Chain A
Amino acid sequence: MKIEVKSFMSVITTGRVNQKTLTVPEGTTVCQIMETVGFSPDDEILILVNKGITNENRVLCDGDNLTFMPPVSAA
């Protein structure tokens, strides 16, 4: 199945949005995608699937849009 992944985490480090389409097996979780794109388990990340807030245990479906955002708080 295909998952659209868009990460704004990289905007902080590289200045660019990291956007790609991944082909993954049925039953793939958000956590597995996070490992694939290079996040560590300690990274704090806001996770959205199809606009909804979710967590790393979410099982993905074909065509899902997965977005990663940094939880920034400074002012």
Chain B
Amino acid sequence: MRALRLIWVGWIYQFKQLRRSSFDFFLAILWPIFFGTVAFFMFRSGGEPGALIYAGLGAAVMGIWTATSLAAGTALQRERWHGTLELLVAAPAHFALILLPVGLATSTIGIYCMAATLLWGRFAFGIDLPLDEPLMMALAVPATLLSIGALGFLIAVAFARYRHAWALGSMTEYPMWLICGFLVPIALLPDWVGPISWVLAPTWGMNAIRESSVGGTPLGDISMCFALGTAYVTLGVLLTDRVLRAARERASLSLS
């Protein structure tokens, strides 16, 4: 119960903090709109009627990853700058319980990105998205957010000892947009990319949202989101202990 409370309070606190940041909030909303606009022009030029719907949904979900990748990458660096990292690590609560809400808060910012991109597509490009399975959509969106948040948590832990973690987080942006099938069907990519995209929750989240919108069977994709999200959290918790131990041994928690 205390763990759940800590996650909830941390989530709200981190979310409020991110919402005050022009970089993590305002830019995170604008960024996918720029790329979505280019993609909308390209798909509109292609002339296939279904393509714009495909791009509209993809560009909307892209924003969730944008909001997560950079902010999660810099999560620990922010604490270093604020001078609170050592205090958080020394707190009796497991450090993973403090970091997990960061990942969840960053992906929650993605809701704003998603809404902004959908509205931009609707009003600037006349993209009218269908909603064949509203109930499934109500499940698919939170499942996608939670699983991407869990991936953000894993990234935050994995990049903990790098001073320039923001650059590594930012580096994951384009590759993830590409291999998770946001704007390009995975079938178009080389065969070896397929297995990589299968272990990435955004791939399944994107599928779930697409199938909920245009019709299909999103339940399997939603289940995969939850399964992968659980795997990321488990891996992240195990990694947290190793990373913290290494940082303590080298006395490099605040210096790395």
A and B are partners in one complex rather than unrelated chains: no
Chain B residues engaging chain A, CB cutoff 8 angstroms: none
Chain A residues engaging chain B, CB cutoff 8 angstroms: none
